[in-house]
Amino acid sequence: MKKRFTFKSTYYMSIAIFGAAAMVLLPVLAAVVLNSTFAGLVILGIGIVLHIVSLRLAACVPCGIVADENDLRVTVLFKKYIFPYQEIESAEVGSEYVETLMLREVPYYIETLTITAKSGVYSFKSKTRAQRQADGTPLPFENGKFQEIRKYIAPRIKSGV
């Protein structure tokens, strides 16, 4: 079973603040040190592009989960976690509804998969768009990606296959 998902990094605000500060300070420093306004503008352009790319990457960190007969593999950006079923003690799934205040952002659920293994506790999050009822209230969140994964791996954890 394969599932792909994205989530918003916990470092998103730090990246936004430090990136904005760097975009202001680095072009000014480059212009003063190099005594060239053009150098400052080039550094500003490069800084803007890097800042936008880093914000986009932090807002939608690509992840994937693969559950097969022997183990559960989770890939977050470039880091891989491999959990053999006999080492997983429990897998819990929770969800939280988030009402947004941003103009273009729609309300969503954050689904959390918490895996307790012999090596520690690991938590993975997925952002899922909230479906609305006719009266505007959100539909209850029941069948997310992580719920399917948990249902698939639950018998394998108990049997130790």
The pLDDT value recorded for residue 78 is: 81
- Can you tell me the mean pLDDT for 50-59? 86
Q: Mark whether 68 and 37 lie in a shared domain.
A: no
Asked, for residue 4, whether it belongs to a domain, the answer is: no
Q: Mark whether 86 and 118 lie in a shared domain.
A: yes
Q: Do the beta carbons of residue 109 and residue 130 sit within 8 Å? A: yes
Q: Mark whether 130 and 143 lie in a shared domain.
A: yes
Q: Mark whether 67 and 43 lie in a shared domain.
A: no
Any idea what the CATH number is for the domain that residue 80 is in?
A: 2.30.29
pLDDT digits 0-9 by tens, 27-49 = 999 999 999 999 989 999 999 99
For the chain, how many structural domains are there in total? 2
Asked if pLDDT for residue 1 goes beyond 90, the answer is: no
The pLDDT value recorded for residue 159 is: 55
Asked if pLDDT for residue 104 goes beyond 60, the answer is: yes
Q: Mark whether 82 and 129 lie in a shared domain.
A: yes
Q: Mark whether 66 and 143 lie in a shared domain.
A: yes
Secondary structure of residue 137 in the 3-state scheme: coil
Q: Mark whether 139 and 70 lie in a shared domain.
A: yes
Which domain range does residue 77 map to? 62-159
Higher per-residue confidence, 2 vs 75? 75
Q: Mark whether 128 and 80 lie in a shared domain.
A: yes
Higher per-residue confidence, 29 vs 142? 29
Residue in 18, 26, 19, 17 with CA at minimum distance from that of residue 44? 26
Asked if pLDDT for residue 126 goes beyond 60, the answer is: yes
Higher per-residue confidence, 122 vs 77? 122
- Can you tell me the mean pLDDT for 88-106? 79
- The string of DSSP letters for 23-68 reads HHHHHHHHHHHHT-HHHHHHHHHHHHHHHHHHHHHHHSEEEEEEE-
Q: Mark whether 22 and 44 lie in a shared domain.
A: yes
- Can you tell me the mean pLDDT for 148-157? 85
Asked, for residue 23, whether it belongs to a domain, the answer is: yes
Confidence of residue 160 (pLDDT cuts 50, 70, 90): low
